[in-house]
């Protein structure tokens, strides 16, 4: 009887072990079947967007016509009429230096002061062999009246179509009290005897400008 009891117990233990194994396998299978959770990637900071470029029609027009000249640029060629109705060409100016200054309008305060400044310094420019020439969109008749009123001894060229102004980059966008418009930017150029721009002054202020130009002529 004792032997039978022991064998019965052994069989029960074997059954228990056998029953436990499939359970373990099931657990292992479940563990394998469980999907792995992907690690969350840190969010990539968004790149700041560049501000959109703003351009008005006037600005685009100014950009297209405002090619500015620098020292070493060939001076644009021209043929325009002066206050006496005579045609002056850039070819005729070859062989001697000259000062070409652009101004907005005859007989206005700033333009008058500038013209009188060049007039008063005429002898100093003459000693350096440089000729003074003013240019604006005004007519020949307007130039004649302006020159006569202030005793201007130098040439004033009429550029009503702004052909020369555009060639020199002085016809550009201007701003005044929040208003935008196309107009002449007060500018001066020193051109040498070979027809090369030696100095370019854009957007100048009248006060002290003639002295700066005279110094540039003397240094060129």
Average confidence (pLDDT) per 10 residues, the chain, 220 residues: 49 50 46 53 51 38 63 97 98 97 98 98 97 98 98 98 97 90 97 98 97 94
Question: CA-to-CA distance for 108 and 137, rounded, in angstroms?
Answer: 13
Predicted pLDDT at 185: 97
DSSP at 47: P
Predicted pLDDT at 68: 94
Would you call 116 a catalytic residue per the annotation? no
Residue of 69, 75, 111, 200 marked catalytic: 111
- Give pLDDT tens digits for 42-51: 555 554 443 3
- Give pLDDT tens digits for 29-67: 444 555 555 555 555 555 444 333 333 344 334 444 448
For every residue of 2-17, DSSP letters joined together read HHHHHHHHHHHHHHHH
CATH superfamily of 57-219: Glutaredoxin (3.40.30.10)
DSSP at 195: S
Predicted pLDDT at 85: 98
Predicted pLDDT at 46: 53
Reduced to 3 states (helix: H, G, I; strand: E, B; else coil), residue 201 is strand
From residue 14, how far is each of 3, 18, 19, 32 by CA, in Å? 17, 6, 8, 27
Question: CA-to-CA distance for 28 and 117, rounded, in angstroms?
Answer: 102
DSSP at 77: P
DSSP at 98: E
Say which residues have a Cβ less than 8 Å from residue 116's Cβ, sequence separation at least 6. 150, 152
Predicted pLDDT at 178: 86
């Amino acid at each position: 009887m004792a032997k039978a009891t022991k064998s019965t117990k052994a069989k029960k233990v074997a059954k228990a072990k056998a029953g436990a194994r499939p359970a373990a396998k099931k657990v292992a299978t479940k563990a394998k079947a469980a999907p792995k959770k992907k690690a969350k990637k840190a969010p990539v900071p968004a790149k700041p967007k560049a501000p959109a470029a703003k351009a008005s029609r006037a600005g685009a027009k100014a950009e297209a016509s405002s090619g500015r000249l620098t020292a070493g640029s060939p001076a644009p060629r021209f043929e325009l009429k002066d206050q006496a109705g005579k045609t002056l060409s850039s070819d005729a100016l070859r062989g001697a230096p000259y000062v070409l200054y652009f101004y907005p309008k005859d007989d206005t305060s700033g333009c008058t002061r500038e013209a009188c400044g060049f007039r008063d310094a005429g002898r100093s420019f003459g000693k350096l062999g440089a000729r003074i020439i003013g240019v604006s969109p005004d007519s020949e008749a307007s130039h004649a009246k302006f020159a006569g009123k202030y005793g201007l001894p130098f040439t004033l060229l009429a550029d009503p179509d702004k052909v020369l102004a555009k060639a020199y980059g002085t016809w550009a966008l201007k701003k005044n009290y929040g208003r935008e418009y196309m107009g002449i930017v007060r500018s001066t150029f020193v051109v040498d005897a070979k027809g090369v721009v030696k100095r370019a002054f854009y957007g100048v202020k009248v006060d002290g400008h003639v002295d700066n130009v005279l110094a540039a002529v003397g240094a060129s």
